[in-house]
Structure 1
Amino acid sequence: MSTAERTPDTQRPRGQLKLLAIVAVVLGPILVAWLMATTQIGIPQGQTNHSALVEPQLTVEDWQLGLEQVGYGAPWRLLVTAPEGCTEACLALVHEARQINVATGREADRVQHVLALGQPADEQLSRRLEQDYPKLQRASLAPTAYRDSLAAHPEAWRQGPQLWVVDPLGRVVLHRDPANPGKALLDDLRHLLKVSKVG
């Protein structure tokens, strides 16, 4: 038998391998997607936030909170509210807000940390805030309006100082859950900064 007669037989297995490779490339992803859908393995969770989402919606206007700039181009805010005055727990949240702000890295200039007090700070507190947190913005908070606006939310949110994320339009979007560390709020804020078109 000559070499020319054997060539078609030797070529046939290579042609079959190419056909199988093409079928695998086309059907492989479909099979993997079907397996993921039926076993629910490898499917991302629908909820991406780690902190408590504020629903029903609140705004800083509900709290009669006078912030200098609200709207497109305004900063995101890490807002500490202290309707009864700023105690050590309040100062711990102010410190945490600053740390989260710094940890946003190159996006830090898009974020402000703000303290909203229900009563004026005394001289000692003012000195401490100016010394320890020179970039901290301060605002006044209407305690009654604040508590009334939180009537439909968890009772714990109305007690003591709280840490919130406020978007550039003045909507209060996230609440720091005491059961979650600041890292969870940082992850959520980084995600918001990444997808945000307003601030």
Structure 2
Amino acid sequence: MSSSDTTPVQPGKPRGQLKLLAIFAVVLGPILVAGVMAKMGFMPQSNTNRSDLVEPHILLEDWQLAVEPVGYGSPWRILVTSPQDCLDACMALLHEARQINVALGREAGRVEHMLALAAQPTAALQQQLEAEYPRLSRSMLDAGAYQTSLRKHPQEWQQGPQLWVVDPLGRVVLHQDADKPGKQLLDDLKHLLKVSKVG
């Protein structure tokens, strides 16, 4: 009797079926898990921003704010708005906007800080702004248009001075809550500058 007659025959079917099942599990498993998570409401949060995203969107022209330049290659803006005079809370936000701009380091040249008031500033305020914020851009804000554009947004955004981030195309993209630290807006702005191709 030859040695080939004594070699046991390996069954090929079960091994092939296991490989096929493994391939199906790898392909269909994640799809089934995602479907179950979606049905049960366990969707992970994909937002990475720590500041408030402005939705529905607002454009600077909605506030009748004359800002130049706007478009590709224009700067990002850290904008302080005040529908009244620029008093203590407004001045505190201006200081924060400048600190955020400085903290951007080598990216600071891509960003400018800006003030938009609904009322003409007094001579004393103009002198103070020129002395303390010589690089501050200023513009006039239409109070009625400003309030109208904010009707679909949180009530607290409509009261007093506010801090915003505006992209180079003139879209208001982020809002900084007064009760959140400015570092959150700084982190979000750094991320936007890193991924941005427009300014």
TM superposition score normalised by structure 2:
0.78
Correspondence list, 1:65-80, <5 A: 65-80=65-80
Cα distance in structure 1, aligned partners of 2:64 and 2:85: 17
1:179 positional shift: 2.3
Q: Report what 1:121 is aligned to.
A: 121
Correspondence list, 1:29-68, <5 A: 45-68=45-68
Q: Report what 2:150 is aligned to.
A: 150
Cα distance in structure 1, aligned partners of 2:95 and 2:57: 26
Q: Report what 1:109 is aligned to.
A: 109
- 3-state secondary structure, aligned to 1:81: strand
Amino acid at match of 2:125: L
Cα distance in structure 2, aligned partners of 1:104 and 1:111: 9
Deviations 1:126-154 (A, max 9, x none): 00000000000000000000000000000
1:76 positional shift: 0.2
- 3-state secondary structure, aligned to 1:113: strand
Amino acid at match of 2:106: R
Amino acid at match of 1:133: Y
Amino acid at match of 1:97: A
1:45 positional shift: 5.0
Amino acid at match of 2:152: A
1:157 positional shift: 0.5
Amino acid at match of 1:52: D
Q: Report what 1:186 is aligned to.
A: 186
Cα distance in structure 2, aligned partners of 1:187 and 1:172: 17
TM superposition score normalised by structure 1:
0.78
- 3-state secondary structure, aligned to 1:92: helix
Amino acid at match of 1:183: K
- 3-state secondary structure, aligned to 1:57: strand
1:46 positional shift: 1.2
Structure 2, unaligned runs of 5 or more: 1-25, 35-43
Cα distance in structure 1, aligned partners of 2:84 and 2:148: 15
Cα distance in structure 2, aligned partners of 1:58 and 1:81: 14
Deviations 1:59-98 (A, max 9, x none): 0000000001100000000000011110110000000000
Structure 1: 4+ residue segments shifted above 6 A: none
The alignment-based identity, stated in percent, is 62
- 3-state secondary structure, aligned to 1:73: coil
Cα distance in structure 2, aligned partners of 1:75 and 1:154: 27
How big is the alpha-carbon RMSD for the aligned residues of Structure 1 and Structure 2? 1.7
1:178 positional shift: 1.7
Q: Report what 1:18 is aligned to.
A: none
